[in-house]
Amino acid sequence: MTDPRMDAPLETLAEGRFLALRKRGTWEYADRPRDIRAAVILAVEDDHILLVEQFRIPVGAPCLEMPAGLIGDETEGEAVLDGAARELEEETGYRPSRIEALGEFCSSPGMTSERFTLVRATGLVKVGEGGGDSDEQIVVHRVKLSEVPTFIAERRAAGVVMDAKLLLLLGGGILGL
């Protein structure tokens, strides 16, 4: 399936270091310049998952998420799995001994061209404190898998917003299935 708007010329309305605002026909959207990609990391070990919480300027609130990061933003041609392992260690302080790609997904295809690779990281070894780089203040949560729904509800009640990718962890439970 294609859309005739794809034949319209691509316009760049604005461009920064990590995002560009583009227009094709009547459609405006955000785009990642310079082949920057993203990885979202499902870091699971000993019946626990690593989650991160950090303030997100666009929503004006702290957000609970799976660890994630940009790939190729600082090192051109960075491999997804290498970047995902780097981001996991930077954000959480855990280094994986095994990491595998689970597939590529679109984060919000009506608004952005961004795609992310979902990866699973296992064989986790704590090598540092995590917390992100100097611009980030990441809080790391190690949560028992059976307690994820309760933990999410508690963080939501505390005013923390939820990244939609957490729905992967809630599965049918959110619908009462």
pLDDT of residue 173: 58
Specify whether 94 is located in the same domain as 53.
Answer: yes
Which residues of the chain, if any, have pLDDT below 70?
Answer: 172-177
pLDDT of residue 7: 86
Tally of domains within the chain: 2
Specify whether 26 is located in the same domain as 97.
Answer: no
- Is 14 in contact with 21 (CB distance < 8 Å)? yes
Question: 176 in a domain, yes or no?
Answer: no
Question: 173 in a domain, yes or no?
Answer: no
Specify whether 66 is located in the same domain as 36.
Answer: yes
pLDDT of residue 172: 57
Specify whether 25 is located in the same domain as 57.
Answer: no
Specify whether 17 is located in the same domain as 71.
Answer: no
Indicate the pTM of the whole model: 0.88
Question: 174 in a domain, yes or no?
Answer: no
Residues 55 and 32: their CA atoms lie apart, in Å, by 21
Considering only CA atoms, give the Rg of the chain: 17
Specify whether 69 is located in the same domain as 41.
Answer: yes
Distances 145 to 33, 63, 93 between C-alpha atoms, Å: 36, 19, 19
Specify whether 52 is located in the same domain as 7.
Answer: no
Residues 136 and 175: their CA atoms lie apart, in Å, by 34
Specify whether 11 is located in the same domain as 38.
Answer: no
pLDDT of residue 175: 46
DSSP label at residue 123: S
Domain residues for 2?
1-31
